[in-house]
Structure 1
């Protein structure tokens, strides 16, 4: 295990996302107080401060071009294109009426360090979506607990198609637990070969000896298209639950797969 370099000061304490591309970590952060974005990448390489010192290797950060001015402050959904170098991001400004362009989808090409606007439409997910080669689709989570798979947008599409509609399929079965207790957040992790892991946090009173805490519900499931082209959850689904720390006010469940 390796500990990476601390993020630059302008990227700390903001709302943001992270995406791994070709063994490099791309991070986009938004500071509400300064009302500006910070964008950078952490990679492994030489960390010598100048040519007079012997070069050493380690993790370091590099500043990248920030999003265009029309980029709204919050990224609602994002996905890495199967080309391995294009990150798609959809934004929304909830303080703006839909007629004024509250939605927008952008992409960043990691090879050319170029931003591109793709129009006033959004990826149909909440949080990160993942590309599955067997389904040939992006797969992501809806805010209400359903799973969707949609066609992959072309990196070359641009604002001549401002209201692009991606072909999308959604499961009929909701994967969120049926508990009516307060929902604390959820994330979807791709495990390969159309297999996924859903992690959901639910607030739980008296969870830890009389102290408020939360319960993690972990669901592992598979996806497939049936003969009608409908997205279905496969039968080999498993669900487990775990009680976690009482520090629920600063806890957001996120899983990763190695």
Structure 2
């Protein structure tokens, strides 16, 4: 059951609290920037690995040590998530067809460094994906649908389909085409295999503590969906408990470029969908939804209340959300 809201009204973007401009260099790659959230702060990395943190509470900017090897701005993102006080980032190497590079931005003292504690990038082990059984027969259209293509050490191609945080300290990453789901323990720094199955989400899934459930966008149709009550104890492929249809489909002239689910707290979520038109106009539609329970605590009584939606135009600037 869903309460539908009217079509999104066009709104102006609010005045920016801070703006970041890329450096103008001959190299297109070095002029790129990547922005990631670290709790209430924003981390900005340029193509050379230079890192700046914007403190959302104080409005202050501070520089940090540059990313040591692969700058997240120069390669495709696979994972960007905050666990504890650290930002964990997985991306492809600069060549684009390598084992993914995994690193974390953490606060503390670097090994062997006697200087005061500070923010720094720490390299982490990358997951070792199993062989993809469908690789040889995989149609080329499957690769076209996912730009998160990476290669396993065996040389077979794997794709990152979904990821989330489980138990507050583990990062789960699902590889598509039958390669399974892998778990990284941020405390021990070790990878393990969670199962042969994949999470039923597309991109990042969010744990909503008010309901004790994981919410995300379905890997089937992109609709809002909810998954198992406790992923940490599951030994079987997690199944979708609910999936809610979106409002009427957008016009055919709107080409979807990305979709993200953003938690707002207290069971409220924001669904951000990014579009472009044949005229290369870029815009986003932000839709607010609230998940509530009717009656007892059973998951069958979940209901979605749709709040207003707004469209924000970016003009002709290229916007590619991470």
CA separation of 1:148/1:4 partners in 2, compared to 1, >3 Å: closer, same or farther?
Answer: farther
Cα deviation, residue 74, structure 1: 2.5
Do the aligned partners of 2:202 and 2:222 also contact (CA within 8 Å) in 1? no
1:80-107, CA deviations, whole angstroms, 9 ceiling, x for partnerless residues? 01x21111110114xxxxxxxx241111
Moved more, 225-234 or 137-146: 225-234
Q: In the alignment, what sits opposite 2:303?
A: 232
Distance in 1 between residues matched to 2:108 and 2:126, nearest whole Å:
23
Structure 1 unaligned runs (5+)? 94-101, 207-211
CA separation of 1:17/1:5 partners in 2, compared to 1, >3 Å: closer, same or farther?
Answer: farther
Q: In the alignment, what sits opposite 1:91?
A: 175
Of the two structures, which has the highest relative contact order with CA contacts closer than 8 Å and spacing of 6 or more?
A: 2
CA RMSD of aligned residues (A): 2.6
Per the alignment, in what secondary structure is the counterpart of residue 128 of structure 2?
coil
Q: In the alignment, what sits opposite 1:221?
A: 289
- Normalised by the size of structure 2, how large is the TM-score? 0.63
- Normalised by the size of structure 1, how large is the TM-score? 0.78
Cα deviation, residue 3, structure 1: 4.6
Cα deviation, residue 167, structure 1: 3.8
- The number of equivalent residue pairs is 229
Cα deviation, residue 76, structure 1: 0.9
> Pick from 186, 192, 203: which aligns with 2:259?
186
Q: In the alignment, what sits opposite 1:68?
A: 128
> Pick from 183, 186, 207: which aligns with 1:131?
207
Aligned runs of 1:28-47 on 2, under 5 Å?
Answer: 28-31=90-93, 33=96, 35-46=98-109
Distance in 2 between residues matched to 1:21 and 1:73, nearest whole Å:
25
1:51-93, CA deviations, whole angstroms, 9 ceiling, x for partnerless residues? 4xxx244321111122124266432101101x21111110114
Q: In the alignment, what sits opposite 1:243?
A: 313
